[in-house]
Amino acid sequence: MRRHNAQLLPRLAQRLEAAGGRLAVLEGRVPILFDLPDSIERIPSRVHWTPAALRAASESRALAEAIAQAEAAGRPFDLVHTAHLPTPKSLAIPFTLTIHDLRSLDLNRAPFVRRLIGGKVLAKATADAARLFVVSEWMRGRVAAEFPHAAHKVQVVGNGVDHLPLRPRQPDKNDPFLLHVGHIEPRKNLDLLVQALARDPELPRLVLAGSPKGDTDAELMVLAKDLGVADRLEFRTAPDDNAVAELYSTASCAVFPSRLEGHGIGPLEALRAGCPVAASSIPAHCETLGDDAPTFGIDDPDACATVLRRVLDGAVVLPTAPGMRTWDECADAWASGLVEAISPPPPMG
């Protein structure tokens, strides 16, 4: 989500400025953690990030104040866009929403109360939003199936993959390693990779590059010790883009065993870098990677080990990856969708 915003917001600002418009971003107590061009106005606020209920209430007040001040200054806003829930309430102008995934509904390990509340929050948000943006055709279908009242206003704006610098492929044959890039959290299903290491003693070490959430990293190390593979598991702190590019250039194979993704940007990053990829057979991976991708079931460590061995042995070729897009293409689609949300086309007939 952070990547999505960091890449799309500056491009959106350029397109709005070219059409005589402007972009402003409401900044909360926690400052924005990525660079924005000076042309984007930052509106300071005291909005809390957590808990969600407090954030939604304070965000609604801050947005209402910003909208009123802009109106009084003769520079009114036309639209508010958000990408988190609950959505703002009682706004004087329309709002749009990006939905990256439906984890509160689709993740079986999510608590029942979270699924119940999440469904109600999503139902209201999808009903109130002027337009809904999703990151894949898979997500378009899920949102339409779950919230048929909103099916007509769902638009796909995927993720680009041209943000990382490219490095020559230089895998280390003397010290090969498997690579996973992303948060270290239960949804990423990284315990499956640890089990796969135990299934095949010949698999190389596994590097997990990303920020841990909760105690997931400690739990994975306990599992690795129990299975006798702790010496083949390595954690790396969240790398910057140059470090990620270097990892993709030197890894023997990048592997993504997620239980749930809305898009699956990691496998596409790896493929663009020329790095072999193996991934779980979830719908988002199958859509973006294509039917020829080497995949495995989310609960099958034996299949995971087998697929990794085939990829490492060169028994499969790189997927064609129909999901490859540039961020400029995505920004064009997003900008046109936002304009249509302000001035929707007249109904047919």
Assess whether 284 and 205 both reside in one domain: yes
Rounded distance between C-alpha atoms, residue 30 and residue 41, angstroms: 16
| Domain co-membership, 198 together with 148 | no
Phi-psi category of residue 56: left, alpha or beta, with phi > 0 → left and psi -120 to 50 → alpha: alpha
Triad 78, 81, 86: Cα angle to 5°: 130
Say yes or no: 146 and 10 in one domain: yes
Reading the block at residue 143, the tokens are: 């949102």
Whether 213 and 267 map to the same domain: the answer is yes
Residue 321 placed within a domain: no
Residue 295, strand partner residues: 279
Phi, psi of 87 (to 5 degrees): -80, 160
Q: Which domain holds residue 127?
A: 2-160+326-342
Q: 84 in a domain, yes or no?
A: yes
Query: Are residue 183 and residue 298 in the same domain, yes or no?
Result: yes
- Residue 317 in any domain: the answer is no
How many residues belong to the chain?
Answer: 349
Instruction: Mark whether 141 and 11 lie in a shared domain.
Output: yes
Instruction: Tell me how far apart the alpha carbons of residues 143 and 153 are, in angstroms, rounded to a whole number.
Output: 10
What tens-digit pLDDT sequence spans the chain (349 residues)?
889 999 999 999 999 999 999 999 999 998 888 899 999 999 999 998 888 888 889 999 999 999 999 999 999 999 999 998 999 999 999 999 999 999 888 877 666 556 667 789 999 999 999 999 999 999 999 999 999 999 999 999 999 999 999 999 999 889 999 999 999 999 999 999 999 999 999 999 999 999 999 999 999 999 999 999 999 999 999 889 999 999 999 999 999 999 999 998 999 999 999 999 999 999 999 999 998 899 999 999 999 999 999 999 999 888 888 889 999 999 999 999 999 999 866 555 4
**Neighbour-count burial of 252, counting CB atoms closer than 10 A to its CB (0-12 exposed, 13-18 middle, 19+ buried):** buried
pLDDT of amino acid 53: 82
CATH at residue 99:
3.40.50.2000
Is 171 among the domain residues?
no
**Radius of gyration over every alpha carbon of the chain, rounded to an integer in angstroms:** 22
> Do residues 151 and 61 share a domain?
yes
Query: Can you give the pLDDT at residue 50?
Result: 82
Mutual angle of helices 191-199 and 216-226, in 10-degree steps: 20
> Is 330 found in the same domain as 227?
no
Answer yes or no: do 36 and 152 share one domain.
yes
The reply to whether 169 falls in a domain is no
Clarify whether residues 127 and 66 are in a common domain. Answer: yes
- When divided into structural domains, the chain yields a total of 2
Q: Are residues 125 and 192 in the same domain?
A: no
Q: Is residue 348 part of a domain?
A: no
**DSSP conformation class of 212:** B
Q: What is the pLDDT of residues 93-135, one digit of tens each?
A: 999 999 999 988 887 766 655 666 778 999 999 999 999 999 9
Please tell me whether residues 10 and 133 are part of one structural domain.
Answer: yes
pLDDT score, position 119: 86
Residue 183 lies in a domain: yes
Does residue 172 form part of some domain? no
pTM: 0.92
